[in-house]
Amino acid sequence: MSKIRFHILLAALLVVTGCGEDDKVLPEQQQQFESFLSGSHQPRLVTEQEAMSSDEDLDFYSTFGRWSYRYIYHYYDSERQTRPEAEIGDEVDLVFWVYLFENRAITASTMPIYTNDRKWAEKLQEQGLDTKYWSFEPRPVRVGGGS
């Protein structure tokens, strides 16, 4: 019986001490990521608020809630306004790259950990990936579809 009490006490102690740092993890990760965006990222980015209050066309990032960051690399492109814009209900083909954040600049030669961009197929195969079960087709997504 005393063994059971010991294990319950130990489990309770681990739960109490194990949760203490959770409230610091997200803010620390956000600070690291924002430091990367304004330091090592090429081009260096400022916050959207800084860019909008500047007389210069500064590259910037936007935040959405606590989780999402966005950088539009062609924001100041004069042809941007003439391009078609996807609206709610439209279906678009999504080609994407997933990178592991290692606090360093991602360049054209940085290997993604996942992508459906066909241009990476050969390089991923050279790294040992069996592409038999890996699709390199653009992913159709309905804008506003929720999934």
Residue-level pLDDT, tens digit, the chain, 147 residues = 555 554 455 455 555 455 555 678 888 888 988 998 998 888 899 999 999 999 999 999 999 888 888 888 889 999 999 999 999 999 999 999 998 877 777 777 888 999 999 999 999 999 898 888 899 999 999 998 775
What is the rounded distance in angstroms from the CA atom of residue 130 to the CA atom of residue 127?
Answer: 9
Domain hosting 55: range is 2-70
What is the model's pLDDT at position 6? Answer: 42
Is this structure's pTM higher than 0.75?
A: no
What is the rounded distance in angstroms from the CA atom of residue 108 to the CA atom of residue 12?
Answer: 49
Q: Which of 45, 70, 95 is the last residue of a domain?
A: 70
Asked if residue 30 is part of any domain, the answer here is yes
Regarding whether 66 and 89 lie in a shared domain, the answer is no
Asked if residue 78 is part of any domain, the answer here is no
Regarding whether 107 and 61 lie in a shared domain, the answer is no
Describe the chain by its helix, strand, coil percentages, rounded to 5.
Answer: 35, 15, 50
Asked if residue 77 is part of any domain, the answer here is no
Instruction: List all residues 6 or more positions away from 3 whose beta carbon is below 8 Å from its beta carbon.
Output: none
What is the rounded distance in angstroms from the CA atom of residue 107 to the CA atom of residue 102?
Answer: 13
Regarding whether 60 and 24 lie in a shared domain, the answer is yes
What is the model's pLDDT at position 21? Answer: 59
Regarding whether 90 and 61 lie in a shared domain, the answer is no
Asked if residue 147 is part of any domain, the answer here is no
Asked if residue 14 is part of any domain, the answer here is yes
What is the rounded distance in angstroms from the CA atom of residue 54 to the CA atom of residue 57?
Answer: 7
Say how many domains are in the chain.
2
